[in-house]
Amino acid sequence: MIEVFNSNWVISIETKNKNKIILDTNSFDVKINDLNVVHPWEYEKSWILLEVKNYSDILFYSFTIEWNHLLIITNDKFDIKEEILSFFWDVDILIIVWTKDAAKIFENIEAKVVIPFWEWKTIFLNTLWQHIEEVDSYKIKWEFSIDSTEFVNLK
């Protein structure tokens, strides 16, 4: 199980072992605990595996936590081609910036849980007919529905 929080434009994902993945939604910096991840590479910290890929001068973050896949997309200004789609394999949790082009990216990723962020995330949720209340935090158990996508609206 993990818990996701949003506080002052910082999304924190806390694992059951109290490790944290942190996304600053203003600077788009990503950290695992105290390790700042700023270069394409493969990382391992506190039993969290991370692959960072540079595609179209954008960094994409693919985490493996307890055998589950979390993907962070901080920019939607790229062409969706096979090269990057193969990186978006079997996504359990998708954290995605919301701008007008994010819906087409979402449609190409079959995520089980989607957490949009940024000031226009409500438009994204409404476009997908997801009229859900904002929550302070959200606990995600690793038991996902095969047939549907769950949306989370963090404050």
Nearest to 46 by CA among 5, 87, 14: 14
Cα distances from 106 to residues 25, 66, 71, 147, in angstroms, run 18, 23, 11, 16
10-42 confidence digits (pLDDT tens):
999 999 999 999 999 999 999 999 999 989 999
**pTM of the entire predicted model:** 0.89
110-135 confidence digits (pLDDT tens):
899 988 887 667 666 777 677 778 88
Domain ranges of the chain: 2-151
CA distance 87 to 82: 9
| CATH architecture for the domain at 2-151 | 4-Layer Sandwich (3.60)
